[in-house]
Structure formats: structure tokens, C-alpha cells
Amino acid sequence: MTNQIGTNVQISADQTALEALAELYPTLSVYTLEQQLDDIDNLRTWTTDTVTFSFPTVESTDYVGNWREGTLYAFTEAQAAATREAIALIGDLIDITFVDSGTDVDAQMRFYNSSAEGTAGGAPAGEGIKGDMWLYDYTPETAAAYNLEYGRYNFNVMLHEIGHIMGLSHTSFTQDSDEYIDNAHYLQNNGAYSIMSYLTASEAGLEWDTAYSATPMIADIAALQSLYGANMTTRTGDTVYGFNSTADRTVFDFDELLDTQGTIPAVAVWDAGGTDTLDMSGFANSSYISLVDGTMSSINGYDVNFGIAADAIIENAIGGYGDDILVGNTVKNVLTGGYGADTLLGGAGKDKLVGDLTNAVTGDFEIDSVVLDGDEEISVEFDGTGVTDLTVEMMISFDDVTGSSQWFTNMPGAWNLMFSGSGNGLWYRANSTWFHTGISHADLTDGSFHRLAVTLDSAETEVKIYLDGVNVKTLDAAAFPDLSMTATEELRINH
């Protein structure tokens, strides 16, 4: 496959999102996740298991004699709701219980607006204003102008400043230039990897649906969990993220996001258990979807905008209408390409790779080079209504193994191919009868890929088998299967 995913960061099937980003900035260092979290971890933490927060309507007496600027105002209801959601997103990540104390002026984390310019957040715990947040550049008259949608500046500010309150610092950077490569210090120093970076995804050359992320990103998650431990109660059931979501956060529900704000922001997922799925089936544009934990994906044609936290295991992925690339991890994955000419790369687990020809415009489906190990399979689903002729074609190569036959099963009309484990080559079966294809064991175990095609011709009631374009066998009516197909048919290759 040659499809490239992304707008400015072009990802191909043989590379990761990070490797593609590195092609834009070849002189920047690539940090490990440990180096990234070290860059934003200031080692100051809350020392209690429970932290209270509030939205006071009066100024705290703690501020008497302490530094502050401007006039303080209470949060609006919309601001308080957005802050509660931001705190909940962080609470999903770490082993800390956050308690909403309403307007209690003595809570540990207190949120105010300030008329002064800028934005400020406090450090964890301590005396006076430490642990509090003041959202600057605010007056009651400007409240209506605050856009608190996911992925907008003001919601991202909430996440960023709460990050400070929980013990995170800014990433290390300089502002000596207008060029990202001069300021970043390392490749991942941008909003795609951390909400604590002052360098946005746009400044790093990334194209997004929104300007900012809507959750802590993979470096933030790693840093917070290194300080407080991971929350192992978060979404322990079978959870779907994206379209048809069953996650308990709106930010992971793409149907609702499109209905309510019309955009899908960059996010990163932490999940503590269950059999989980990334569902990108609603996207018209191509996606690069990686299930490898601690890595980023590029979804819906945008750049590096979906992450899976380190140690979060997501088992399954579903592509959309574009020419997607789906990459599995080390566990057993089900990768479903959906429409388009998709590339499915299972990885090390015992995987199932599923293509879908239903309503496909061209009637073509292509899987990139796949190595099948024991108990793995490729499955291609399609609408067979009215089909009377069929050609199945693949590039194929076998290891020279004995004792374990390789099967191409569930072919429409209940015909099968079998590569014999006893060294007798490739066999075709239809109507419970076996026919040798004329293809020997040696033909397919020479270390090279060969083009194998099986053509079923209903008018001639014959089966033609081709190897590298040469018709090596023609079988007559006795070998022709019943091609009475339904709307749900499947081609399956098993190891």
C-alpha cells in the first residue's frame, strides 16, 4: 500500500506518527516518554488521597497580605461546569479522589476570575493561594465571550492550570525565533504530546480540527501517574471510544461532539481494563490508527491528534470510509478496515483482520503484507447479492513448514483452499471434493511473493487458478461451487 495519512505530517504504513513528524524536524531530539515526563514533572504533589475544590462567591481571607492582582470574581456556572469536567478528566487518570465542595471558601483548590491580564495557576498544596487558580483577563461583561467547547483555548487553559496545581511545570522551551525547530528543544514539545507546552500543535506544523487538545495528552498522563499512581477503576468494562461510544466522557463521544460543537478535538485515552475499541467508522477522510500504547495516531486526515496512554491496552480498531492504516499491538486485536483500500497490520498478537466490501464503489479490497501466526485470520466481509462471478486474488508466500496445513476458508459458495502441511502443495475443495491446483509446495516456499488468483465463472461453470498470471489449472463443473450468495458474505484466511 502507498496511501499516506495526514495533512502536513504524512504517515505511511511502514512508520509511526512520531517517525513521520521527525521527517519535518530531523535535527530535533526525539525524547523517550520518560524524558518527556521528567521535563514537566516538578515533583511537588498533594500528600492526601482526597482533594477538595470549590467555586467561592466571596474572596478568601487567605488572600489578605498575599500577592494578587486585579479584582476577583466568582466563576460563572458555565466556567464551573467546564472546570468540573476538566477535573473529572484528570481524576480518571490518577489515584486521587476529587470532592466538589460547592462554594466553600476553605476548599483546597479554589477557582476565581481576575480582572488582571494573563492566566495564572497555583502550585500544589501549601499555605495561602497555593492550590488555587485565577483565570485572568476577565470581567463580568466579558463572560459571554468565553468559548468553553472542547478543544478551544479556554477549556485547554483549565486543563493546563489544573496541571500546574497537580504538580506539572511547563515544558522547557525558548522563544528566540518564529520557528518551531529553534524553540522546541525536542521533537514532542508541543500540544499534541502535552497540555503543558507553550508551543501549539499549529506551531509544530500540525493540522487539527481545533486549535487545542481537550484532554491531558500522553506525556501529561505519564507524568501525573508517576506522581500519584494510575486510576485502575477507570472504564474497566468493554469501552468504545469515538463513534458509537460507550465511554463516560463526552470528549470521547464523536457522535455527540459533532452534534453539539461540530468539531472533534485532539484527545488521549486512558483505560484500565476490559476489551476496548477505537471506532473511527464515521470519518470520511483517511486515518492512521495505532493501538500501540504510548503512541499517537492521525485521525480523519488530520495530524497526530489521538493518543493512547502508556500501559493502556486497547484491543480493537475500526476504520472509516478513507484508505486507512490500522496498526495492532502485542495482544489479540480485531482490526476492521471498513470502506476504502485499507492497510491492516496486526502486530505480535493472534489477530483478526477484517475488510469490508459492502457497498464498496470499486469492489476492490486490499490488505498490505501480513504475517499470520498461529490462530490468526484475515476476514473480508461483503454484500454478495446478485454475484454470479468472483475472482479472489492475493500475493502470497509460505514458510517451509510441515505438519500444519494453512487454510483459506469460508469462501463464498463454501469452497476452500488448503496449503498442505505434508508437502503436497495447494489444494482446492468444492462440493466436498478435493482437486489439486497444479501448484507445488516448492512453488510457494521459495521466499518470494507470488500472485495467486482463483476465478469462478458461472457461465462456463468452471474454476480457473492462476499463479503469477499463468493459468495453471482449469476445473470443470464438478469443482464449481454454488454461488447463491447473501447480503453478508465473508472471505477468510486462517493459519
Active site residues: 161
SS3 percent helix, strand, coil of the chain, rounded to 5, is 15, 25, 55
437 grid coordinates: 491446483
Give yes or no for a contact between 98 and 119, defined as CB atoms under 8 angstroms apart.
no
Q: Which residue has the cell 464438478?
A: 478
Distance CA 395, CA 409 (A): 17
Distance CA 319, CA 279 (A): 7
Distance CA 293, CA 285 (A): 23
Distance CA 336, CA 242 (A): 14
Q: Which residues pair with 266 in a beta bridge?
A: 213
98 grid coordinates: 476529587
254 grid coordinates: 464523536
376 grid coordinates: 490468526
Contacts of 221 (CB under 8 A, 6+ apart): 93, 268, 270, 309, 310
Q: Which residue has the cell 484532554?
A: 215
51 grid coordinates: 482533594
Q: Which residue has the cell 499463479?
A: 467
Distance CA 247, CA 255 (A): 12
**488: which DSSP letter?**
S
Give yes or no for a contact between 92 and 233, defined as CB atoms under 8 angstroms apart.
no
Q: How far is CA 343 from the centre of its chain?
A: 15
Q: What are phi and psi for residue 395, nearest 5 degrees?
A: -90, 130
DSSP secondary structure, 207-259, as one string = --SSSSBSS--HHHHHHHHHHH-B-TTTT-S--EEETT---SSGGGBHHHHHH
Q: Which residues pair with 435 in a beta bridge?
A: 428
H/E run at residue 162: helix 153-165
Please return the burial class of 198, using the count of CB atoms within 10 Å of its CB with bins 0-12, 13-18 and 19+: middle
